[in-house]
Amino acid sequence: MAAVALSKVDLRRPGRGAVVALVLALWLVLWALLKGLHTLALGPAQLTPLHQAVNDLNDSIGASRNTNPLFLYFFNEIRLVIDEFVTFIQSLIAQPAFGRPLPLIGWLGVVALAAFVSYAAGGFRVALLAAAGFTFLGLQGLWEESMDTLALTLAAVVIALLFGIPIGIWAGLSDRFNRVITPVLDFMQTMPTFVYLAPLTLFFLIGPASATIATLVYAAPPAIRLTAYGIRNVPGDTVEASASLGATDGQTLRKVLLPTAKRTIIVGINQTMMAALSMVTIAALIDAPGLGKTVIKALQTLDVGTAFNAGLAIVVLAIVLDRVTTAAGDRVDRARLTRRPWAARARQGGLIGGGVLTLVAVWLSYTYVWAAEFPPDVEVGSSIAKGVTTATDWVQSNLSGITNGVKDVVTLVLVDPLQSLLTGSPWWLVAAVVVALSVVLGGIRAAIGSAVCLGLLVATGLWQDSMATLASTLVATAVVMVIGVAVGVWMGRSPGADRVIRPVLDAAQTMPAFVYLVPFLALFAASRFTAIVAAVVFAAPVAVKIVADGVRAVSPTTVEAATASGSSTWQTITKVQLPMARQALVLATNQGLVYVLSMVVVGGLVGAGALGYDVVAGFSQGQLYGKGLAAGLAIVVLGVLLDRLTRAAAARSGRS
């Protein structure tokens, strides 16, 4: 994509490419002269006054917890309500309750309910998928854990929507509120969870409430954003027509805005569910019940098989929830197009029949042990675990020679030079280069934004760590884009490839990173490269999907015209499809960056050092808490800087 953008620049405004090259060349020369000067290095155990101040603040909050009225009358009340809510859902499907040794609804009832809800929301095919998926969870030997995870996820999603959709509507209606809330949402999504996990337990105690709120903070933003986006995109004349017919604001909202935006809102709900599921393992660190605990426990003894089995259950849950909500969105579309009476009657019959069946199943699972407790003798989980362990053992012992070679080369050729350029230059030089590039690529406004971000980075006291993290982030994003374009174009051109690859992408996005970190460590040792690979696994799928959608959206007649005029496949791709999917490429880069940054902390667990390690250590050691928080802020600032810069550059080159 860089090549596309550059060639465009070269053709139309030869000046800009040359200026960029000049700035970079100047940077290299100055770096060679000034290497090692003013690098603002800070040792792993060293603290700045800011870090110390944060520590003190944290301590004083903890010490006043039992006397502070804010705790007594505000946080405690919130905690009570959320605790009750989660415990209630758990007692329905997951945990023994009401004096019974088992939950109210057993496995048969839950499977039937899942299928029925899927049928009602989506259709027959997703109902089958839901039933099969949920049964598989039982076969894995993880029924109770899966239900705990489902209960917590549902609770978090319900609360997220309860607040998220009204906030989203407000942001959709008011430009001013939208401007205020957008940075808050950015912050919620990029601030590493590790930073607020420990303080959360201080405010909301250890238990379901803290786990739910941790999940909520990360999962609510997509629902808010997409609701706002959906409302904003309702055509202006529709709203005007409604108003001119004498509808009140409330009526316009209920009868016009919400129905028209319904599909986008459902996409938001879908994204919120996926985000909530991705928090399962991290929330387990503060005693959140469910599959996350299984993953973490298994990894203490490097039991990859067991961890994978539990990770697979999370993937299954994610795929079921994703397909059902997606089908629900499609149904909304179709329902508006077709209204055939016989279809409606058939559906009504199906709903009644299915409803009766579901009630029977629920009653059975309430009453009889065989329908309540998943039969333990039909179990495939241990075979899955064993198979995976054998496979990873083989891979680890046979491939690690080659993979370590790859690691050494990539580190030597790409990561090391970039990192030494960024961390070895004086901070003011890097800052000047970034501001200069911002002016050239995005304009004065972008440059001011960059300058503010750079100032904040210096203020966190973690400049050098930030630069090291930035180097790895840039390399990872470049790899993500190479994969994104290659696979995305393939999927966009071939529906068959799309069908095969898409589930793999879904799995890569929802499989907890903790599961594949162990084999990665064996293949690449604890290193920055390992962290880069982990980030690529997580971030490439989203880039691939966006590019594929973009390529598919290029009008077929244009492609046919190109083919007819004698273009080769390669020419069609490079001269027609990719340039026309430019918006998608920009979005893919932007999202790729954001996803890579969200893996910085995970990278810190496998040898990336720098900001990721600072955050992890801050979570684990009290005296490093303030530094961890500062590192979290630095990650957010890096995210904002890169996000705004790519957007501004894209908007500008789009205009020129």
Partner 1 sequence: MALSGKTGIRGAGVALAVALTLAGCGGAKVGDTGSAQSGSTGDCGTFNIAINPWVGYEANAAVLAYVAEKQLGCKVTKKDLKEEVAWQGFGTGEVDAVVENWGHDDLRAKYVDDQKTAVSAGSTGVTGQIGWYVPPWMAEKYPDITDWNNLNKYADLFKTSESGDKGQLLDGDPSFVTNDEALVKNLNLDYKVVYGGSETALIQAFKQAEEKKTPVIGYFYSPQWLLSQVKLVKVKLPAYTKGCDADTQKIACDYPDYDLDKIVSKKFADAGGPAFQLVKNFKWTNEDQNLVAKYIAEDKMSADAAAKKWVDDNADKVKAWLPAGK
- Interface with partner 1 in residues 620-649 (CB under 8 A): 620-623, 625
Question: Segment near partner 1 (CB under 8 A), from 184-192, 324-332, 527-535, 580-588?
Answer: 527-535
Q: Which residues contact 110 (CB under 8 A, 6 or more apart)?
A: 93, 134, 147, 365
Counted residue by residue, the chain has a size of 656
DSSP state of 607: T
Figure out which of the listed residues 24, 34, 50, 364 binds partner 1, where binding follows CB under 8 A: 364
CB of 157 to partner 1, least distance (A): 23
Q: Which is nearer to partner 1, 485 or 513 (CB)?
A: 513
- 528 near partner 1, rule: CB under 8 A: yes
- Site residues for partner 1, 435-464, by CB under 8 A, read none
Do the beta carbons of residue 200 and residue 79 sit within 8 Å?
no
CB of 478 to partner 1, least distance (A): 18
Measure the CA–CA gap between 197 and 636, rounded to whole angstroms: 16
Q: Which is nearer to partner 1, 615 or 648 (CB)?
A: 615
- 240 near partner 1, rule: CB under 8 A: no
Question: Segment near partner 1 (CB under 8 A), from 272-280, 368-376, 454-462, 575-583?
Answer: 368-376
Measure the CA–CA gap between 551 and 492, rounded to whole angstroms: 5
Q: Which is nearer to partner 1, 465 or 506 (CB)?
A: 465
Measure the CA–CA gap between 434 and 319, rounded to whole angstroms: 41
One-letter amino acid at 536 equals: V
Question: Segment near partner 1 (CB under 8 A), from 136-144, 180-188, 256-264, 298-306?
Answer: 298-306
- 43 near partner 1, rule: CB under 8 A: yes
Do the beta carbons of residue 428 and residue 38 sit within 8 Å?
yes
- Site residues for partner 1, 266-285, by CB under 8 A, read 284-285
Quick one: tokens of 170? 């407000």
**204-223 mask for partner 1 (x: CB under 8 A)?**
-xxx----------------
Q: Which residues contact 629 (CB under 8 A, 6 or more apart)?
A: 51, 54, 195, 618
Measure the CA–CA gap between 441 and 450, rounded to whole angstroms: 12
Residue reference for tokens 């002016």: 439
Helices 625-655 and 444-459: crossing angle in degrees, nearest 10, is 170
DSSP state of 255: I
Figure out which of the listed residues 372, 430, 489, 508 binds partner 1, where binding follows CB under 8 A: 372
- 609 near partner 1, rule: CB under 8 A: yes
Figure out which of the listed residues 233, 238, 367, 494 binds partner 1, where binding follows CB under 8 A: 367
CB of 357 to partner 1, least distance (A): 5
Question: Segment near partner 1 (CB under 8 A), from 55-63, 161-169, 262-270, 582-590?
Answer: 55-63
Q: Which is nearer to partner 1, 124 or 177 (CB)?
A: 124
- Site residues for partner 1, 60-89, by CB under 8 A, read 62-63, 65-66
Figure out which of the listed residues 527, 577, 589, 598 binds partner 1, where binding follows CB under 8 A: 527
- 302 near partner 1, rule: CB under 8 A: yes
CB of 99 to partner 1, least distance (A): 8
Do the beta carbons of residue 142 and residue 313 sit within 8 Å?
yes
CB of 360 to partner 1, least distance (A): 5
Question: Segment near partner 1 (CB under 8 A), from 20-28, 37-45, 243-251, 583-591?
Answer: 37-45
Do the beta carbons of residue 95 and residue 373 sit within 8 Å?
no
CB of 527 to partner 1, least distance (A): 5
Nearest to 58 by CA among 630, 637, 638, 634: 630
Q: Is 364 exposed, middle or buried (0-12, 13-18, 19+ CB in 10 A)?
A: middle
Q: Which is nearer to partner 1, 289 or 541 (CB)?
A: 289
Buried residues in 142-175 as b, exposed as e (16+ CB within 10 A): bbbbbbbbbbbbbbbbebbbeebbebbbbbbeee
Q: How many CB atoms lie within 10 A of CB 284?
A: 22
Q: Residue 181 belongs to what H/E stretch?
A: helix 175-190
- 537 near partner 1, rule: CB under 8 A: no
Quick one: tokens of 478? 């470049």
- 475 near partner 1, rule: CB under 8 A: no
Nearest to 225 by CA among 163, 279, 165: 165
**143-182 mask for partner 1 (x: CB under 8 A)?**
----------------------------------------
- 493 near partner 1, rule: CB under 8 A: no
- 507 near partner 1, rule: CB under 8 A: no
- Site residues for partner 1, 323-362, by CB under 8 A, read 343, 345-350, 352-354, 356-357, 360-361
CB of 229 to partner 1, least distance (A): 33
CB of 506 to partner 1, least distance (A): 24
Quick one: tokens of 287? 């005693």
Quick one: tokens of 497? 């490839």
Do the beta carbons of residue 74 and residue 84 sit within 8 Å?
no
Nearest to 518 by CA among 392, 399, 385: 392
Cα-based distances in Å from 383 to 139, 141, 517: 11, 11, 21
**380-419 mask for partner 1 (x: CB under 8 A)?**
----------------xx--x------xx--xx---x---
Measure the CA–CA gap between 502 and 545, rounded to whole angstroms: 8
Q: Which is nearer to partner 1, 22 or 206 (CB)?
A: 206
Helices 528-553 and 513-524: crossing angle in degrees, nearest 10, is 120
**103-132 mask for partner 1 (x: CB under 8 A)?**
---x----------------xxx-------
Question: Segment near partner 1 (CB under 8 A), from 30-38, 434-442, 446-454, 513-521?
Answer: 513-521
- 370 near partner 1, rule: CB under 8 A: yes
Measure the CA–CA gap between 561 and 571, rounded to whole angstroms: 12
Q: Which is nearer to partner 1, 60 or 568 (CB)?
A: 60
Nearest to 72 by CA among 208, 205, 252: 205
Figure out which of the listed residues 236, 244, 250, 300 binds partner 1, where binding follows CB under 8 A: 300
Measure the CA–CA gap between 8 and 5, rounded to whole angstroms: 5
Figure out which of the listed residues 197, 380, 395, 439 binds partner 1, where binding follows CB under 8 A: 197
Q: Which is nearer to partner 1, 342 or 570 (CB)?
A: 342
